[in-house]
Amino acid sequence: MLLVTIYAPNENQSEYYSKLHEKKLEIGQRNICIVEDYNAVVDIKKTILATQKNKKKRKTLPTSFFDIIQELNLLDRWRRLNPEKKEYTFYSNPHKSWSQLDIIWMNVEIGNELKTIEIMTNVWADNNPLMIIWKRRKKTRRRWTLNSQIVKEKYVTKIKKEMELFFKENTIQQTSLQTLWDTAKAYLGGITIAYMAKRNKERW
């Protein structure tokens, strides 16, 4: 996943988003999450709480921004999770208005991994912080297995010597056989990984 955090400029936004679009195409990442203070709103009707007069003074995002959203199939994830809510992230004293300048855009695949997005209370900054809560994933433990190919190499002699030394130094009455065996496997894995890394480096 490509995580992009942005503080957009107040001026020349059209040019700014065109360059951002080009940079994203260079990177070529499929899954993307853009978290941004846009200094403009997506939709005056939905993302601003103000008098009609003050609404007209607020700036909306340029076409070049929506080109990115359309091409990358990004969605406003907070709005998708909270279609009926009216919450805002920034209060403007000059305009006497609340607006949602901070938005999280994601493609569908990683958006489906979200549990919720919360707009938090503003304590010290101009904008309210956003908290992303992901769904819990079950951790899968990867089992290390010995590469059978190296058993055919001269390295197998080194393995035998290293393991003989290991058992000689670590076989004591206070250590259970299970603990000794688990430790031996970890030790074998370590020296084998180190050998494979060295062999691959020399090969290249």
Q: Which CATH homologous superfamily contains domain 2-134? A: Endonuclease/exonuclease/phosphatase (3.60.10.10)
Q: State the pTM of this model.
A: 0.54
Structure tokens at 65: 């921004």
| DSSP labels, 165-194 | HHHHHH--TTS-HHHHHHHHHHHHHHHHHH
- pLDDT of 55 > 60? The answer is no
Residue at token pair 């992303």: 132
Interval 132-143 mean pLDDT: 71
The pLDDT value given to residue 51: 47
Residue 108 CA to its chain's centroid (Å): 14
Interval 73-99 mean pLDDT: 79
